[in-house]
A and B are shown apart, each in its own frame.
Chain A
């Protein structure tokens, strides 16, 4: 089983639609969670961190379900500019040669928003 699993998509949605992505992780001790956005042939950029209580940033809402070991990203009122690949990223926790910031990246979910 992969450490972080995502549906690769693509999710093809019209402008204005609401779309949700899920991501599952295998290590129940995982400590922190992030969503990154990656445009075609570009570097990943941090979209938002995911907190236990859930958090919202404008049209984007992230949720964490520790019991079921999944995180989700909801995008409301989709824009053409939201078209990208969304990477689910997990910090598995524990010592990492003395550091804390090892990250495991999912392969990404592709979103295509059309007019």
Chain B
């Protein structure tokens, strides 16, 4: 079954701690994205990657970091510099080779502060 897998489903962060959210896809998509969703708000782009070993900041990258060492994987680290990390985090992917394609989402990770 092709799809995007995010883990864990729920995550709690202590003060001063870095935490890493996993995102894996087997859709053979080049492009991957991380979004944050706060209650009653639209999705906001944190980072995106068009190809392996390359990634770009989105609209709200401060306090976050990513890596793209493999096509299938795009982990997101929420660092201690992110002062308001409580949110629903969504990973998405799309076929970069085809224009105007929609993005497909994993089922998300809910992050809360302890």
Q: Which residues of A contact B (CB under 8 A)?
A: 4, 8, 31-32, 34, 36, 41-46, 49, 87, 89, 91, 97-103, 105-108
Contact = CB atoms under 8 A, between A and B. Distances in A.
Contacts, number: 58
Given A44-B90, A98-B50, A99-B31, A107 B41 contact: yes
B56 interface: yes
Contacts of B88: 41
A99 B16 CA distance: 35
B30 to A, nearest CB: 8
B102 interface: yes
Contact of A101 (B100, B106, B107): B100
Given A34-B102, A42-B108, A105 B43 contact: yes
Nearest to A4: B42
B114 to A, nearest CB: 20
A90 B89 CA distance: 20
B2 interface: no
